[in-house]
Amino acid sequence: MGGRRAFPRVCAAWWPPRGVCAGRGGDAGLQLPVRGFSKRPGPLGCQPFPGQLRPEHLSREELVVVLRAAVLDQKGPLVTLNKPQGLPVTGKPGELTLLSVLPELSQALGLGKQELQVVRASAKETSGLVLLSACPQTTSRLRKFFIHSRSAQKPTATYCAVTDGIPAASEGKIQAALKLEHMNGVDLAVPVRSASRKDILDGVKRTLSHFRVVASGSGCALVQLQPVTAFPCQLQVHMALQLCPVLGDHTHSARVASVLGRRFLLPAESTRPHGQVLDAALLRRLGLTPAQAALLPLHLHLHRLQLPGAGPRDAPTALLAPLPAYFSRTLQRLGLRLQ
């Protein structure tokens, strides 16, 4: 492919109708008989998180099988898949990542010598949409669209999250200056109060997210999040600042403490990350033991991604990724519904 008209031609053949999730997709695409997955059958106590991926138990060949089954749509050189939670996009040399198996995935999808590149992807602990392209021109144009949208402060990604706690407002925006700080052997995103110009030069970034509570009940909420800026763990930190950490956030939830039913933030500098602690009533509602809750996967899912239309005058379109099975199970247990 080449030339200025390559991208519109591909788009016209590929973009699904607005709000429609094309292709195979769905939870069924993740229920595979490979050893890296939690199985749906069996006692709930043994398999509390159906469909959860365990990349450390997979071979390269098995991971390619998983990713091929997770493909939502493929038209020409463009591929959309629903990434399982826990799979890193990039990593150190020798680590099993999405990027490391793209050559094999390209072959498995019949792309031949056209190797896939990552255009947009959810982070390791986040499930959801991944957009891949085997056409360099298309990759470049889509990346420029996302960069331009971010510069114009127009969010293109919508995440779904289940939170421990209900935000005080039903919708709004969260702003915070964040920096990465090496604490207890890991890099953590921590807030910075009254960030100065020198702080910004030293790596502090002003971040912004929009949120909307879709449903609430049992002391939890289903929240839609739209990041305007991009920073590691931005959404997790933003929800912790709202005193409503994301379920399965075993890092930033440690900052949220409670005394006599009232929540408050602990200083990031003196708070050691630990497994998320859920109250007894919520554990019963979720059907989990404290030990199982310590393994709860992060309930943050890249659900919707807005893309440009096929031509300059065409309306934007949207890709949708179904929720993971464990995420849907949590919603059912809490009586929450994605509208």
| C-beta neighbour count of 116 within 10 angstroms | 23
In this prediction, residue 1 carries a pLDDT of 40
In this prediction, residue 3 carries a pLDDT of 37
Residue 243: CA count within 13 A, CB half-sphere: 14
Per residue of the chain (339 residues), give pLDDT as tens.
Answer: 433 333 333 333 333 333 333 333 333 333 344 445 554 433 333 467 887 888 888 899 999 999 999 999 998 888 999 999 999 999 888 889 999 999 999 999 999 888 899 999 989 999 999 999 999 999 999 999 999 999 999 999 999 999 999 999 999 999 999 998 877 777 888 888 877 777 776 789 999 999 999 999 999 999 999 999 999 999 999 999 999 999 999 999 999 998 988 999 998 877 888 889 999 999 999 999 999 999 999 999 999 999 987 777 778 889 999 999 999 999 999 999 987
Q: What is the rounded CA–CA span in Å between residue 199 and residue 7? A: 40
Q: Do residues 117 and 136 make contact, with C-beta atoms less than 8 angstroms apart?
A: yes
Cβ within 8 Å of residue 227, ≥6 positions away: 155, 157, 159, 207, 208, 209, 234, 235
At 160, which amino acid appears? C
Instruction: Find residue 226's DSSP bridge partners.
Output: 210
> What is the residue extent of each domain of the chain?
6-156, 160-293
Tokens (6 digits) for 102: 């793209």
Count helices and strands (H / E) in the chain.
9, 13
Token look-up 């289940």 returns 162
Q: What is the rounded CA–CA span in Å between residue 221 and residue 331? A: 9
Indicate the pTM of the whole model: 0.85
In this prediction, residue 23 carries a pLDDT of 36
Token look-up 């493909």 returns 71
| Three-state secondary structure call for residue 172 | strand
CA distances to 189, 198, 204, 292, 312 from 315, in Å = 36, 41, 36, 45, 8
Q: What is the rounded CA–CA span in Å between residue 219 and residue 216? A: 7
In this prediction, residue 10 carries a pLDDT of 35
Q: What is the rounded CA–CA span in Å between residue 107 and residue 80? A: 16
Q: Helix crossing, 136-151 with 6-14: angle to 10°?
A: 80
Q: What is the rounded CA–CA span in Å between residue 182 and residue 286? A: 34
Token look-up 């999808």 returns 109
Query: In 233-288, where does DSSP find H-type helix?
Result: 234-241, 280-286
Cβ within 8 Å of residue 215, ≥6 positions away: 221, 222, 336, 337, 338, 339
In this prediction, residue 37 carries a pLDDT of 53
Average pLDDT value for the chain: 84
Q: Residue 165: left (phi > 0), alpha (psi -120 to 50), or beta?
A: left
